[in-house]
Amino acid sequence: MNIGFIGMGIMGSRMALNLLEAGNDLTISNRTREKAQPLLDKGARWAESPAELAAAVDILFTMLSTPAAVREVASGENGFLQAMPRGALWVNCTTVDPDFARQMAGLAAAQGVGYLDAPVAGTKGPAASGELVFLLGGDGADIDTCRPYFDCMGKKTVHLGDAGMGSSMKMLFNLMLGCTMAAYSETLVLGEAFGFSKDDVGKVLLDAPVTAPFLKMKHPLITENNFEEHFPLCWMRKDLHLAADAAYRNGVALPALNSIKEIYGLAEKQGLGRKDFAAVYTMLAKNGSGDS
């Protein structure tokens, strides 16, 4: 099959490279060609627009930043949906809210195109090593068609129901991720106020059952003050906002989530948006009792 991929950011470029290195026939497109050049140098073909790409592929993956970016690429000027042949399949790996995923599924169906919402669990490292987890919503037969490609990019696929259910689970996943990172950052700030170093706190808590395993990867970023973006803070803020908005539309009150997403908002306002989301510690330390 001919595979297309739109979105050459931190995640998409690595996912697309795994598809290419597995021997797949890959055509790519991106807002700026510069970010796509490393894949073009390795043999991927270039499409000047999403519409041009869509006309040449059987399965199209998108990995973009926001729902608005997805809508523009799908149905804006030179969007891909109207150019996709009937029977083709769109796999959207972008983190979007469940209602948006269902809207996109409807737009795709109106064009005779299949749709899978396929957000991923994992950041830059797992994307590069092909160890992502795909959280899937959509038709089981379409998932089976795409399974060889998911296997190129990830270690596990989880089918959660109809379109929108993959995105629903991703909301839950990132809610836990963002809230836990903020809680650990506050723990470090209080620990420093008590007179402990960050490493003192880490040596005790990182192996304790109260601590999420992913924090072992984030703790060195904090102690070294090196917040290279694995998962940019601005996108964590976006994802928490999507979860809060989805909760509102479902009549669910989530006071802790709404408070924590504003912590990330303050961190972004302080210039930390393009740092890894663990940089929320920096903002809390600056405004709290600990030393940054």
The Cα–Cα gap between 47 and 286 comes to: 46
Q: Please name which of 36, 37, 3 lies closest in space to residue 20, comparing C-alpha atoms.
A: 3
Residue 98 to residues 105, 194, 288, Cα–Cα distance (Å): 11, 43, 36
Say if strands 132-136 and 120-121 run parallel, antiparallel, or are unpaired. antiparallel
What gap in Å lies between CA 173 and CA 187, rounded to an integer? 21
Token output for 174: 């990132």
In the chain, the amino acid numbered 203 is: K
Q: How far is CA 270 from the centre of its chain?
A: 23
Whether residue 170 lies in the annotated active site? yes
**Region of 186 on the Ramachandran plot (φ > 0 left; ψ -120 to 50 alpha; else beta):** alpha
| Strand order from edge to edge, sheet including 154-159 | 120-121, 132-136, 154-159
Query: Which residues are CB-contacts of 63 (< 8 A; sequence separation ≥ 6)?
Result: 5, 6, 7, 9, 11, 12, 15, 93, 94
**From 35, 170, 218, 269, the catalytic residue:** 170
Provide the residue type at 124 as one letter.
K
> Are the C-beta atoms of 243 and 171 separated by less than 8 Å?
yes
SS3 label, residue 246? helix
Q: Are the C-beta atoms of residues 47 and 56 closer than 8 Å to each other?
A: yes
Residue 170 DSSP SS3: helix
Which residues belong to the active site?
A: 170
